[in-house]
Amino acid sequence: MKKFNRNVGLRLICLSAILTLFYNCNSDDSDDELGNWVKKSSFNEEARSSSSAFTIGNIGYMGTGYDGDDYYNDFWSYNMDTNSWQQLSDFPGVERSSAVSFVINNDGYMGTGYNGDTNEELADFYKYNVATNSWTQISDFGGSARYGAVGFGSSTSGYVGTGYDGSDKKDFWKYNPTADSWEEIFGFGGDKRRDGVTFTIANNVYFGTGISNGVYEEDFWVFNLDTEVWTELEDIDEDDDDDVYRSNAVAFTLNGKGYIACGEYGGSISTVYEYTPSNESWEEKTEFELYARRDAIAFSNGERGFVALGRNGTLYLDDNMEFFPNDEQDDDDN
């Protein structure tokens, strides 16, 4: 009888160890997939990709884009609080895709891009006044006409750089709204590219991804808005488990962390990575829960983040999703 009990005890110990190992493995997998995407109000008009977007307060603004047949110059707002879209005054420039935008002191700025009807890169630029829902043309972009650039703003200035003007670029330009003038700024030591992304945390702008001559760029940089100094950070491919590099992605900021989502890497992808600046680390989050996509847009007020529109191959999209990075994935809210 005692022998039987000892054997049962050994079996129970082994079973307990196996269950513990299984639970720990599953717990790790669950941690790797933390983050939840919730479906929000879809865009009111034609599905499209390669639009340009910026956020002021709790309102996201977007305009232009391409639907596979037509280029657009309409302009819209998305209200995060009411989960609704509203059409605004049309962007006054010619229809285009792959334009760039930034915000200075609650005014939006949009320009450059590509007009496929004339096969032309563009350099014109415009200011959007939220209070009056009106546009004013400003000085043309100081660099060459281009598309696929990145843009970001501070309380006093706007910045535009990289992109494609017939060849890939790495120059950066600063816009002074008081003088209505552009000035080239120097110090970026990274590679040429188009279709990269930026996200801003406090007074630091993080910049990376993109493609040049068919090569996905892996360098990662931070630009200090106070000193206007570029600093190179650890490449985004240093950890082979974190495939952050891509092009045509979107990026946004939530509660002091940066996020890069979707994009293109040999085809449309849906992976999402979170960047923590305090330890310069990347963590994979739950994938975007609808179609994988490239050329989407993102809105973020620093506390809420949304990804919308884009395309997967020849399928153009009009959906809109909000991301909750610390929630468990829930398929029932889509």
- Res 240: pLDDT: 53
pLDDT computed for residue 124 by the predictor:
98
Is residue 8 scored above 70 in pLDDT? no
Average pLDDT taken over every residue of the chain: 91
Answer yes or no: is pLDDT of 19 > 60: no
DSSP category for residue 331: G
6 vs 212, residue with greater confidence: 212
Q: What is the pLDDT of residue 3?
A: 38
CA distance 146 to 116: 13
The answer to whether residue 39 scores a pLDDT higher than 60 is yes
Examine the pLDDT at 252 and tell me if it is beyond 50. Answer: yes
| Triad 265, 266, 268: Cα angle to 5° | 65
Mean pLDDT computed over 279-294: 96
**84-87 and 100-104 as β-strands: parallel, antiparallel, unpaired?**
unpaired
Give the per-residue pLDDT at 238: 57
The residue-averaged pLDDT of 93-102 equals 98
Q: Evaluate if residue 143 carries a pLDDT over 90.
A: yes
- Rounded Cα–Cα distance for residues 147 and 288 (Å): 26
- pLDDT for residue 330: 87
- The pLDDT value recorded for residue 32 is 55
Task: Tell me the mean pLDDT in the region 287-316.
Answer: 97
Q: Is the pLDDT of residue 258 over 90?
A: yes
Is the per-residue pLDDT at 122 higher than 70?
Answer: yes
- The verdict on pTM exceeding 0.75 is yes
Cβ-Cβ contacts under 8 Å for 46 (sequence gap 6 or more): 67, 70, 72, 316, 318
**Is domain 35-333 classified as CATH 3.40.640.10?**
no
pLDDT, mean of residues 181-205: 97
Contact of 273 with 258, CB cutoff 8 Å: no
Intra-chain end-to-end CA distance of the chain, in Å: 57
Q: HSE on the CB side for 31, CA within 13 Å?
A: 7
Give the three-class secondary structure for 239: coil
Give the residue-averaged pLDDT of 117-139. 97
Band the pLDDT of 264: cuts 50, 70, 90.
Answer: very high
- Percent of the chain topping pLDDT 70: 88
